[in-house]
Amino acid sequence: MSTAEETAGGEAQAWGEVTPDAARRLLIAAVEAFAERGYHATTTRDIAGRAGMSPAALYIHYKTKEELLHRISRIGHEKALEILRTAARREGSPTERLADAVSSFVRWHAGGRTTARVVQYELDSLGPDARAEILALRRQVDAEVRGIIEEGVRSGEFEVIDVHGTTLAVLSLCIDVARWFNVDGPRTPEEVGALYADLVLRMVGAGGEEARP
């Protein structure tokens, strides 16, 4: 089973680790509000109202609006890291593992596009300490993809002159899916994942059609 098959997409399946139920409802409401209005334009009253709760109830579970964003961002980045780490450490060639990593990462950004937009594009709204924690997770995400590409270069499967620049390009390509993907559009998350996996393998010079998914 590929990572893409193991990693269920979709917003409804997210946030199961957040308890109790009231805290989860508030977090989901915050994701929706931040994605729709932006972090700075969203008030705690907006979030509580979407969750069907009073503003006072929010402070029982989250001290500040930033604490909500921090938790959303941390959980999202930990999930992204899990997806890429699973792909990077599976059996198979660098070509197979890079294709799995990209297709799974894209599928997560498409299937959970509302969450992914907040996770990926609200980093600068965090305070210094929280931002530093998320940047550390981002460096781990970068390292997983870079490691696959470096291994492919060493084995002769990939032709890459600038590994760091190529890693950045691959991640940027995947992340941008959250910005434009439309659930009513012509492609499913799985189809976009397969397309992007093929594009990335071409980018790194993976040899031959037989090497591609």
CB 149 within 8 A of CB 89: no
Per-residue pLDDT at 208 = 52
Residue pair 17/52 in contact by the 8 Å Cβ criterion: no
The pLDDT of residue 8: 35
CB 7 within 8 A of CB 104: yes
What is the predicted pLDDT for the residue at 15? 84
Per-chain mean pLDDT for the chain: 90
Q: How confident is the model at residue 17 (pLDDT cuts 50, 70, 90)?
A: confident
Q: Note if the bond before 20 is cis, omega within 30 degrees.
A: yes
Model confidence pLDDT, tens digit, residues 170-213: 999 999 999 999 988 899 999 999 999 999 999 999 965 544 45
Nearest C-alpha neighbor of 189 from the set 200, 201, 181: 181
Show the tokens assigned to 167: 């890693």
pLDDT digits (tens, 9 = 90+) for 27-85: 999 999 999 999 999 999 999 999 999 989 999 999 999 999 999 999 999 999 999 99
Rounded to 10 degrees, the C-alpha dihedral 44/50/54/60 comes to: -60
Confidence (pTM): 0.86
Report the pLDDT value the prediction gives residue 2, as an integer from 0 to 100: 37
Q: Which residues contact 41 (CB under 8 A, 6 or more apart)?
A: none
Tokens describing residue 147: 């490691």
> What's residue 167's pLDDT?
97
Going by pLDDT thresholds of 50, 70 and 90, the confidence category of residue 125 is very high
Measured from the Cβ of residue 159, the count of other Cβ atoms closer than 10 Å reads 11
Nearest-angstrom CA–CA distance, 53 and 28: 13
- Cβ burial of 1 (10 Å; 0-12, 13-18, 19+) is exposed
Rounded Cα distance, 68 and 126, in Å: 10
Q: Minimal CA–CA distance to 104: which of 183, 6, 179, 13? A: 6
Reply yes or no on whether the pLDDT at 9 is more than 90: no
Q: Report residue 16's pLDDT band, with 50, 70 and 90 as the boundaries.
A: confident
Q: Which CATH class is domain 3-204?
A: mainly alpha
